[in-house]
Structure 1
Amino acid sequence: MSTTAPATPRSGLPASSLQLSPLGDAFHVFDTTLRDGAQREGITYSVADKIAVATLLDELGVGFIEGGWPGAMPKDTEFFARAAAGELALTSAQLVAFGSTRKAGVRAGDDLQVRALLDSQAPIITLVAKSDVRHVERALRTTLEENLAMVGDTVAYLVGEGRRVFLDCEHFFDGYAHDHDYGIRVAEAAVEAGADVIVMCDTNGGMMPVGLHGVVAEVRDRTGFRLGIHCQDDTGCAVANTIAAVQAGVTHVQCTANGYGERAGNADLFAVLGNLVVKMDLPVLPDGRLSEMVRVSHALAELANIAPDSHQAYVGSSAFAHKAGLHASAIKVDPELYNHLNPEVVGNDMHILITEMAGRASVELKAKEFGIDLAGQPEVVSKVVDTIKAREAAGWSFEAADASFELLLRDEMAAANGEQLAAPFQLESYRVIVENTANTPGAGRSVQSEATVKVHVGGRRVVATAEGNGPVNALDSALRSALAEHLPALAGVELVDYKVRILADHAGTDSVTRVLLASTSTMAAGSPEWTTVGVHTNVVEASWQALVDSLVFALRPSSA
Structure 2
Amino acid sequence: MKTGNKVIIYDTTLRDGSQTEGISFSLQDKIGIALKLDDLGVDYIEGGYPLSNPKDKSFFKEIRKNSLQNAKIAAFGSTKRANKKASEDPGIKALLATEMPVVTIVAKSWDFHVTDVLNVSLDENLKMVSETVKYLKTNDREVILDAEHFFDGHKNNARYSLKVLKAAQDSGVDSIVLCDTNGGCLPHEVEKITANVISKIKVPLGIHTHNDGELAVANTLAAVNSGARHVQGTINGLGERCGNANLCSVIPDLVLKSKFRCRYIGNSELKKLTEISRYVNEIANFVPMPNQPFVGSSAFAHKGGLHVNAIQKNRSTYEHIEPEAVGNERRILISELSGSSNILKKVEKYKIEHDQKTMRKILNRVQDMENEGYHFESAEGSFDLLVKKVLGKHKGFFDLEDFRVIVEKGKNGNSITRATVKIKVNGVEELTASDGDGPVNALDGALRKALKEFYPSLSDMHLVDFKVRVINPKEATAAKVRVIIESRDHKDTWGTVGVSENLIEASWQALVESIEYKLLKDEDGD
SS in 1 for 2:478: coil
1:269 alignment partner in structure 2: 247
Distance 1:159 1:492, change over 3 A: closer
**Partner residue of 1:99 out of 77, 88, 104:** 77
Contact 1:451/1:471 (<8 A) preserved? no
Report the alpha carbon displacement of residue 132 of structure 1 after superposing the two structures with TM.
0.7
CA contact (8 A) 2:385 2:394 kept: no
**Aligned-partner Cα distance in 2 for 1:483–1:124:** 54
**Selected match of 1:207 from 160, 185, 199:** 185
Secondary structure (helix, strand or coil) at the match of 1:509 reads helix
Asked if 1:466 corresponds to 2:433, the answer is: yes
Structure-1 separation of matches of 2:515 and 2:88 = 68
1:152 aligns with: 130
Deviation at 1:500, TM superposition (A): 2.1
Report what 2:160 is aligned to.
Answer: 182
Counterpart of 2:502 in structure 1 is: 538
Deviations 1:261-282 (A, max 9, x none): 1000000111110101011142
Gap runs ≥5 in structure 2: none
In structure 1, what is the Cα distance between the partners aligned to 2:285 and 2:334?
A: 30
How far apart, CA to CA, are the structure 2 residues paired with 1:444 and 1:219?
A: 64
Q: Is the 8 A contact 2:75 2:100 kept in 1?
A: yes
Using the TM superposition, name which of 225-234 and 295-304 deviates more: 295-304
CA distance in 2, matches of 1:476, 1:53: 31
How far off is 1:467 after superposition?
A: 4.8
CA contact (8 A) 1:436 1:446 kept: yes
Matched, 1:558 2:517: no
Corresponding residue to 2:356 among 378, 391, 404: 378
Q: In the superposition, relative to structure 1, how do residues 329 and 171 fare at CA in structure 2: closer, same or farther (>3 Å)?
A: same
- The residue type paired with residue 64 of structure 1 is Y
Q: Which moved more, 1:468-477 or 1:248-257?
A: 468-477
1:197 is matched by which residue type in structure 2?
A: S
- For residues 414-429 of structure 1, the aligned pairs below 5 Å read 414=392, 421=394, 423-427=396-400
Question: Residues 42 and 548 of structure 1: is their aligned pair in 2 closer, same or farther, counting only changes over 3 Å?
Answer: closer
Contact 2:5 2:260 in 1 (8 A): no
Instruction: From the superposition, tell whether residues 555 and 292 of structure 1 become closer, same or farther in structure 2 (CA, over 3 Å).
Output: closer
Which residue number in structure 2 is paired with residue 10 of structure 1? none
What amino acid does structure 2 have at the position aligned with 1:508? A
Secondary structure of 1:229 counterpart = strand
The answer as to 2:85 corresponding to 1:121 is no
**TM norm structure 2:** 0.91
Residue by residue, what CA displacement relative to the aligned partner does 1:275-297 show, whole Å, maximum 9, x if unpaired? 01011142303442111111122
Q: Distance in 2 between matches of 1:245 and 1:295?
A: 28
d(CA) in 2 for partners of 1:437 and 1:198? 61
Partner of 1:340: 320
Q: Which residue of 1 aligns with 2:15?
A: 35
Q: Residue 231 of structure 2: SS of its match in structure 1? A: strand
Write out per-residue CA displacement over residues 98-147 of structure 1, whole angstroms, 9 at most, x where no aligned residue.
11112114322222222222222221211111111111111111111111
Structure 2: distance between partners of 1:308 and 1:28: 27
Task: Give the Cα–Cα distance (whole angstroms) in 2 for the partners of residues 513 and 92 of structure 1.
Answer: 50
Kept after mapping to 1: 8 A contact 2:481/2:502: yes
Size of the aligned set, in residue pairs, is 520
Where do residues 267-346 of structure 1 align in structure 2 (5 Å cutoff)? 267-284=245-262, 285-287=264-266, 288-346=268-326
The offset of 1:66, in angstroms, is 1.2
Question: Which residue of 2 is the match for residue 352 of structure 1?
Answer: 332
Indicate if the aligned counterparts of 1:232 and 1:267 stay in contact, CA closer than 8 A.
yes
Q: By how many angstroms is 1:36 displaced?
A: 1.2
Task: For residue 552 of structure 1, report the CA deviation from its aligned partner.
Answer: 3.1
CA distance 1:296–1:508, change in 2 (3 Å) = same
In the superposition, relative to structure 1, how do residues 467 and 50 fare at CA in structure 2: closer, same or farther (>3 Å)?
A: closer
Task: Give the secondary-structure state (helix, strand or coil) at the position aligned to 2:240.
Answer: coil
Q: Say yes or no: does 1:252 pair with 2:221.
A: no
Aligned residue number for residue 412 of structure 2: 443
Aligned residues of 1:51 and 1:88 also touching (Cα < 8 A): no
**Cα distance in 1, alignment partners of residues 222 and 278 from structure 2:** 27
Q: Spell out, residue by residue over 1:391-425, the C-alpha distance to the aligned partner (whole angstroms, 9 max, x if none).
A: 112210011111111111122223xxxxx755444
% same residue? 40
Task: Give the match for residue 479 of structure 2.
Answer: 511
State how far apart, in whole Å, the 1-side matches of 2:446 and 2:90 are: 64
The 5-angstrom pairing of residues 230-245 of structure 1 reads: 230-245=208-223
For 1:56 and 1:348, how far apart are their aligned partners in 2?
17
What displacement does 1:341 show?
0.7
Following superposition of structure 1 onto structure 2, how do residues 210-229 of structure 1 map, counting pairs within 5 Å? 210-229=188-207
The 5 A counterparts of 1:478-517 are 487-488=454-455, 492=459, 494-496=461-463, 497-517=465-485
CA offset at residue 509 of structure 1?
A: 1.0
Shift of 1:512: 0.4
Name the SS of the counterpart of 1:128 in structure 2: strand
Give the CA RMSD over aligned residues: 2.6
Amino acid at match of 1:542: A
Alpha-carbon distance, 1:540 to partner: 2.4
Question: Would you say the 8 A contact 1:67–1:96 is kept in 2?
Answer: yes
One-letter amino acid of the counterpart of residue 197, structure 2: V
Cα distance, 1:364 vs structure 2: 1.1
The whole-number CA distance in structure 1 between the counterparts of 2:4 and 2:283 is 30
Q: Within 1, Cα distance between the matches of 2:460 and 2:143?
A: 54
| SS of the residue 1:508 aligns to | helix
Which residue identity lines up with residue 231 of structure 1 in the other structure? Answer: T
Summarize the Cα distance change of 1:476–1:50 in structure 2 as closer, same or farther, 3 Å threshold.
Answer: closer
Look up the equivalent residue of 2:137 and give its one-letter code: V
Partner secondary structure for residue 382 of structure 2 = helix
Instruction: Check 1:383–1:90 CA distance in 2 against 1; reply closer, same or farther (3 A cut).
Output: same
Residue 227 of structure 1 contacts residue 251 of structure 1 at CA under 8 Å; is this kept in 2? yes
Task: Give 3-state SS (helix, strand or coil) of 2:466's partner.
Answer: strand
- Deviation of the 1:504 alpha carbon: 4.7
Report the residue type matching 2:402 in the other structure: Y
Name whichever of 329-338 and 546-555 sits farther off: 546-555
Letter matched to residue 236 of structure 1: E
